[in-house]
Structure 1
């Protein structure tokens, strides 16, 4: 483990301080990852987006470029659970300052008596191993002051029946604290954002809502059950990521942004 005697660099904790830095967004072709990529580009950061669907990734790159007004945005197609694809992503990214991992899905409710080893292995591979593999590939390429931001969800603190596989998402939060300690001598940081339900393609899929007026109505109806009367937007979700990336004195933290849904 490389160490340094110098403390972590002091810089502006405002998002504007991310200008000129390189951020890799794994799972950046839609939803919160795309919103974060576009915001980073708008601030003048160099952005590398990854996603499995090449066509959707290309569209995401164009959207982020448009937000960035000339910022460099690179797309690398690949699966977050594929070690080779992750290594290729960081090879193409070069020196990196920040990493965001939003990729990964959660299996639907499954009673413990019906849970299979294959389902558990798939959940672990898609969540915990993907995060470990991303950190393993990123760390040797990262500059002091950089950060790794992972994501978890509100079901970690308020599980529902049949959600035993949420343990894999909870593992992300434990991993965050372990990474923060291990990476501190390199002056690198690790944090996680614990999200509630936001209006993203993933959430719409869970609600059976499409990207049409009927889907909008279903999302609005779901939002009425929330403390603030609606679901959050991807931009509102992504702003938490930029806060963690920009503030050089945030590490080992689990930051919840859910509009009060946990209450």
Structure 2
């Protein structure tokens, strides 16, 4: 049994994140960007990691504006690079100073197609892009986060409702959920928490890049069959990540945010 001090007790509300620092990997759009805006609005310092320098610059400006005009320049920092690259992550943590939380939303939907038609290279790329980013974040976070710090991954509801042609990306998402539970046990002696948010259909640029979902009408129709009658917003999805950062009594969990879609 670990002899480390118990994990700190504090308010589980998002306001407790004021003054803490979050590293967001894959934060130039969608849920990652929304998380940055919400975190800055409650007074957290935010380090955004993204591949595209132009999109990263726009994201930094948007997140900075969420904290009001009197925030110091280092309250929002952008680091350009691949979120699966350990050198990029090292720079992000160095720029953060003391990082308290890490959110990984990097890695879109890749490798879709019938399994018999997938090349070995495609399968490797699919696994490296998503699972590689998760492991890289875990390796960096394991030695840098304090007791009560958190590492949060993302997955999707197709893990429990598989669709044809999605074998490779769903295998990766399932692996991330398993990694979550394994890391929660491994990092428990350090009191670092590890969780995953399993998202349903969320109105993001990624969703709207899918065939037939490039208009407001199409997105509304797609969400109409869910119990709550619509797709979720990026802010609703990102708020779950803030909950997991703030609540010091949650670890090893996969929380579903899908408007009840898995029930329909």
Instruction: Assess same fold via TM > 0.5.
Output: yes
TM-score band, normalised by shorter chain: over 0.9
Deviation at 1:108, TM superposition (A): 5.3
Quick one: which of 101, 104, 116 aligns to 2:104? 101
- Which residue of structure 2 lines up, in the alignment, with residue 37 of structure 1? 36
Deviation at 1:208, TM superposition (A): 4.6
Write out aligned runs for 1:147-166 (5 A): 147-165=150-168, 166=170
- Which residue of structure 1 lines up, in the alignment, with residue 178 of structure 2? 174
- Which residue of structure 2 lines up, in the alignment, with residue 62 of structure 1? 61
Between the aligned partners of 1:249 and 1:115, the Cα distance in structure 2 is 41
For residue 25 of structure 1, give the secondary structure of its aligned residue in structure 2: strand
**Greater mean deviation of Cα atoms: 29-38 or 226-235:** 226-235
- Establish whether residue 256 from structure 1 lines up as the match of residue 260 from structure 2: no
State the aligned residue count.
Answer: 257
Between the aligned partners of 1:149 and 1:76, the Cα distance in structure 2 is 19
Aligned-residue CA RMSD in angstroms?
Answer: 1.4
Between the aligned partners of 1:248 and 1:54, the Cα distance in structure 2 is 34
Tell me the alpha carbon deviations over residues 132-169 of structure 1, each in whole angstroms, 9 at most, x when there is no partner.
Answer: 11111122221110000000001100111122111111
For residue 12 of structure 1, give the secondary structure of its aligned residue in structure 2: coil
TM-score, structure 2 normalization: 0.93
- Which residue of structure 2 lines up, in the alignment, with residue 192 of structure 1? 196
Between the aligned partners of 2:110 and 2:193, the Cα distance in structure 1 is 29
- Which residue of structure 1 lines up, in the alignment, with residue 14 of structure 2? 15
Between the aligned partners of 1:108 and 1:140, the Cα distance in structure 2 is 32
Between the aligned partners of 1:151 and 1:13, the Cα distance in structure 2 is 21
Between the aligned partners of 1:6 and 1:122, the Cα distance in structure 2 is 41
For residue 96 of structure 1, give the secondary structure of its aligned residue in structure 2: coil
- Which residue of structure 2 lines up, in the alignment, with residue 24 of structure 1? 23
Between the aligned partners of 2:111 and 2:222, the Cα distance in structure 1 is 18
**Greater mean deviation of Cα atoms: 222-231 or 158-167:** 222-231
Name segments (4+ residues, structure 1) moved above 4 Å.
none
Deviation at 1:91, TM superposition (A): 2.0
Between the aligned partners of 1:173 and 1:111, the Cα distance in structure 2 is 23
Structure 2 unaligned regions, length at least 5: none
- Contact 1:94-1:141 within 8 A present in 2 as well: no
Deviation at 1:226, TM superposition (A): 2.3
TM-score, structure 1 normalization: 0.94
For residue 95 of structure 1, give the secondary structure of its aligned residue in structure 2: coil
- Establish whether residue 114 from structure 1 lines up as the match of residue 117 from structure 2: yes
Between the aligned partners of 1:128 and 1:83, the Cα distance in structure 2 is 13
For residue 262 of structure 1, give the secondary structure of its aligned residue in structure 2: helix
For residue 152 of structure 1, give the secondary structure of its aligned residue in structure 2: strand
- Which residue of structure 2 lines up, in the alignment, with residue 143 of structure 1? 146
Between the aligned partners of 1:234 and 1:105, the Cα distance in structure 2 is 15
Deviation at 1:4, TM superposition (A): 5.6
- Contact 2:111-2:118 within 8 A present in 1 as well: no
- Contact 1:4-1:187 within 8 A present in 2 as well: no
For residue 209 of structure 2, give the secondary structure of its aligned residue in structure 1: helix
